[in-house]
């Protein structure tokens, strides 16, 4: 079985598990609207069951999600961008902040208004 994303006007509206023959049969509508995606692909890297890169073939940069954009020119699924100031990395098709995450040992949240990271303090 494979995963397929239904893409309408460049936006993913559904993701299903199906065989290619089922998609091609038209049982779920126009076959040209369905694009194969891989649940093991993130940021242009294929990951194994252990969560580590396994050298497998990545498919369309990221696993599709409802609301994602499908860019035909990049042949990639791009997640929604909810952050001001972030830019799309065309190699990974992921959004990147204008400043790096400060400290991986601490928890930060992105402040959209001030375009900076704010440390999350336990209360």
Same domain? 59 vs 93: no
Same domain, 91 and 57: no
94 shares its domain with 67: no
If asked whether residues 30 and 88 sit together in one domain, one would say: no
Q: Within this chain, do residues 16 and 46 fall inside the same structural domain, yes or no? A: yes
DSSP the chain: -EEEEEEETTEEEEEEEE-HHHHHTTTTS-GGGEEEE-TTEETTEEB-TTSSB--PPP-SSS---TT-EEETTTTEEE----STT-EEETTTTEEE-SS--S-TTS-EEEETTTTEEEEPPP-
Asked whether residue 63 falls in the same domain as residue 86, the answer is no
pTM here?
A: 0.90
29 and 8 part of one domain: yes
User: Do both 75 and 18 map to the same domain?
Assistant: yes
Residues 20 and 60 in one domain: yes
Q: What pLDDT does 121 receive?
A: 86
Number of structural domains, the chain? 2
pLDDT 10s digits, 92-121? 999 999 999 999 999 999 999 999 999 998
Answer yes or no: do 66 and 91 share one domain: no
Residue 65 shares a structural domain with residue 99: no
Q: Which domain holds residue 73?
A: 1-80
Query: In this predicted structure, what is the pLDDT of residue 85?
Result: 94
Residues 11 and 56 in one domain: yes
Q: How confident is the model at residue 18 (pLDDT cuts 50, 70, 90)?
A: very high
């Amino acid at each position: 079985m494979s995963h397929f994303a239904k893409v309408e006007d460049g936006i993913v509206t559904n993701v299903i598990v199906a065989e290619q023959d089922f998609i091609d049969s038209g049982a779920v509508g126009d076959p040209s609207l369905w694009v194969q995606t891989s649940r093991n692909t993130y940021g242009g890297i294929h990951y194994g069951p252990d969560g580590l890169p396994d050298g497998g073939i990545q498919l369309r940069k990221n696993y599709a999600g409802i609301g994602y954009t499908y860019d035909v020119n990049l042949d990639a699924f791009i997640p929604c961008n909810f952050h001001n100031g972030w830019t799309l990395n065309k190699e990974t098709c992921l959004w990147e902040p204008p400043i790096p995450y400060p400290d991986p040992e601490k928890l930060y949240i992105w402040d959209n208004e001030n375009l900076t990271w704010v440390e999350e303090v336990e209360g």
